[in-house]
Amino acid sequence: MLLEQRREKVEEILSHYPQKRAALMPMLYEAQEVYGYLTEEAIREVAAILELDPTEVYSVSEFYSLYYHKPTGKYIIRFCTDMPCALVGAEHAYQQLLNLLGLKNGETSADGLFTVEHCVCLAACATAPVLQVNRQFFENMTEAKMRELLETLRTSGLPEDGPVMKFQPRTADTPTGF
Amino acid sequence: MEQLYLICRHREVPNLHQYETYIQKEQGYQALQQVLKLSRDEVIDIVKASGLRGRGGAGFPTGLKWSFMPKNVQGPVYLVINCAEGEPGTFGNHEIIENNPHQLIEGIIIGCYAIGATAAYIYHRGEFKYGAEMMQRAVDEAYKQGWLGKKVGGREDVSLDIYLHPEASAYICGEETAQLNSIEGYLGQPRLKPPFPAQSGLWKRPTTVNNVETLAHVPAIIRNGPAWFRQWGTEKSPGTRVYCVSGHVMRPGNYELPMNVTARELIFEHAGGIWKGRGLKGFIPGGVSAPILTNDHLDLPLDYDSLAGAGSMGGSGGVIVMDDQTDMAWLAKKMVDFYSHESCGKCSPCREGTWWQKNLLDRMMTGLARSGDVEMLEMVSEQMAGTCFCPLGESSQMVVLGAMKYFRSDFERYGQGKAYDGVIPMSAIEHH
């Protein structure tokens, strides 16, 4: 399926490396997009393209956090609850997000729209609380902004991506969690 | 002192992500043209004389690192650009790649020329989707303009390719040898050194790994000379650095400042001081792996050597600030959760040590601490010291022992059923 749908991209990735195996990480991203998540079939196809044993492909893919081995929602929300973010109330804000979604950490909504999980540092600590939707950043989150974001995703999908790191001075209504 | 934008040029020059702007407003690619008329050793000498040190963590002199690369080798030589920014509290690269990618790309090409590299891999956080797009655009433009590919800048004998390689969120892959394994398609676990990457790196070929911010400094150093760069900072840590300030300050953000700026000036003047009118309890000066410092250290300049002298380190430049109501046992728990989740599992002291640290701190947070738990936490951490295979496990013990050194009472108040009275941290990420 990967080769059928993205042969050009696959060949381009392979051309970057002197050894096929090195294409494994970018190839897993492609496979994940084509198959939805890393199904057994996806793992087998990647292994075949790279002339590797499927077990090796599986073991590498399990090492990282951004490869999914189970079905996910259309939008994967990853919310940083690491220490610098937690200092300013990210764990509290994450609970608010879970409540808005009616989900527990790691779950996918019944309509197949959202998977939500917390994660470690996203390299955006000064704009905490911060989350990603399908690897696109949303920063300085409040309950109101998260409600609005979910509504936007439900009705019109992801907005256009752009530069982040929009630093904001703290105000009286900065969420604290303490 | 004022902020000084040698790296964050985009804050003074709008639309700097566009090639035309970089050429017209920033003397773009003039440094590379200069370099192509010099020998490799001459380029290395300029960078050595500038005193530029690696901004990624260890602060190793960049020119010296380049000089370790063997000369006159047949076959491929590699430069790997470490853009796997994942040290909690650090977000300088994130801003650079999204807004000023051409300066980085020019620095990469110059670095490749200096070490004789035939290809460069930008190993970037998988999460930097937009940042990667901006870098790819800059790379594509550089190919179009003849700065990449065959005959770089018209030089018949110089050819170079730059490829972006996405990682997929594993902190350990910021360690240079783990990064090489990861690019090769193996588990991102560190390699034994020696051999060092300069002798045997990517696919056993001579390889240098440099940080994004380090390379972005290079073009201006070439254009203006080492003395220009040395007018800022200290003798041993010249130039500016992007300090990333987060935590309990009024104005969190990136602040680019000469490296002799003190912690007091950075935290209280630039970042606006502690929020909610509270006092400062402690600060971490260089990303979470740098041991915590206190009020007594505020007048230290934030250069590599001053911080090392105080028992901490300049590390990644991530300055995390904690107010006087912060529970340092909670802080240790959050950090140990991180290290335990990110431990690659290769060596026992780290894999088992972080697991025990986490269990003990879990007990404290949930009110299940037993008598002797503080001592056991100390013992486990001490047993990790100097025994872990790479800096990840060592960081985990340093964070805990560092916090216990200054704030032991924060740990000792747990026990007899007392639990943490805020949001109890969720244990490490459950899905894997």
**Segment B3-25 mean pLDDT:** 97
Q: Is residue A98 part of a domain?
A: yes
Picking from B170, B203, B275, the nearest residue to A65 by CB comes out as B170
Residue with token string 């001579």: B206
Residues B357 and B408 in one domain: yes
User: CB-based burial of residue B399 (10 Å sphere; 0-12 exposed, 13-18 middle, 19+ buried)?
Assistant: buried
Stated as kind and residue range, the H or E segment containing B320 is strand B318-323
Query: CATH number, domain at A26?
Result: 1.10.10.1590
Q: Is residue A109 part of a domain?
A: yes
B188 chain-A contacts, CB cut-off 8 A: 63-64
pLDDT tens-digit series, residues B222-254: 999 999 999 999 999 999 999 999 999 999 999
CB contact under 8 A, A164 and B94: yes
pLDDT tens-digit series, residues B146-201: 999 999 999 999 999 999 999 999 999 999 999 999 999 999 999 999 999 999 99
CB contact under 8 A, A165 and B163: no
Residues A44 and A90 in one domain: no
Residues 6+ apart with CB under 8 A from B307: B285, B286, B290, B300, B313, B314
Picking from B76, B94, B422, the nearest residue to A178 by CB comes out as B422
Domain that holds residue A122: 75-155
Where does a domain end: B194, B229, B264? B229
Where does a domain end: B323, B352, B386? B323
Rounded distance between C-alpha atoms, residue B248 and residue B268, angstroms: 11
Residue with token string 């209280």: B268
Domain count, chain B: 3
pLDDT tens-digit series, residues A94-138: 999 999 999 999 999 999 999 999 999 999 999 999 999 999 999
Chain A contact for B83 (CB, 8 A cutoff): no
ipTM: 0.96
Q: Is residue B308 part of a domain?
A: yes
Query: CATH number, domain at B157?
Result: 3.40.50.11540
**Segment B374-389 mean pLDDT:** 97
Residues A25 and A87 in one domain: no
Residues A109 and A139 in one domain: yes
Residue B338 pLDDT greater than 90, yes or no:
yes
pLDDT tens-digit series, residues B392-430: 999 999 999 999 999 999 999 998 888 898 888 876 444
Residues 6+ apart with CB under 8 A from B264: B298, B299
DSSP B61: B
Chain A contact for B149 (CB, 8 A cutoff): no
Q: Is residue A164 part of a domain?
A: no
Where does a domain end: B296, B323, B350? B323
**Segment B104-131 mean pLDDT:** 98
Residue A3: Cβ within 10 Å count? 12
Find the DSSP H helices in B51-169: 62-67, 92-99, 101-115, 129-144
The CA-to-CA distance between both ends of chain B, in Å, stands at 45
Residues B208 and B281 in one domain: no
Residues A91 and A149 in one domain: yes
CB contact under 8 A, B125 and A170: no
Chain B contact for A91 (CB, 8 A cutoff): yes
Picking from A28, A86, A126, the nearest residue to B91 by CB comes out as A126
Residues A91 and A121 in one domain: yes
Stated as kind and residue range, the H or E segment containing A76 is strand A75-80
Q: Is residue A69 part of a domain?
A: no
Residues B268 and B389 in one domain: no
Q: Is residue B198 part of a domain?
A: yes
Residues B296 and B316 in one domain: yes
Residue A93: phi, psi to the nearest 5? -65, -35
pLDDT of residue B422: 82
Residues B292 and B391 in one domain: no
Give the angle subtended at the CA of B214 by the CAs of B265 and B110, to the nearest 5°. 145
Residues B293 and B218 in one domain: no
Q: Is residue B207 part of a domain?
A: yes
Domain count, chain A: 2
Residues B60 and B170 in one domain: yes
B89 chain-A contacts, CB cut-off 8 A: 83-84, 121, 125
Picking from A16, A120, A165, the nearest residue to B429 by CB comes out as A120
Query: CATH number, domain at A134?
Result: 3.40.30.10
Question: Which residue of chain A has the CA closest to B15?
Answer: A163
A127: closest CA among A80, A75, A173? A80
Domain that holds residue B274: 240-323
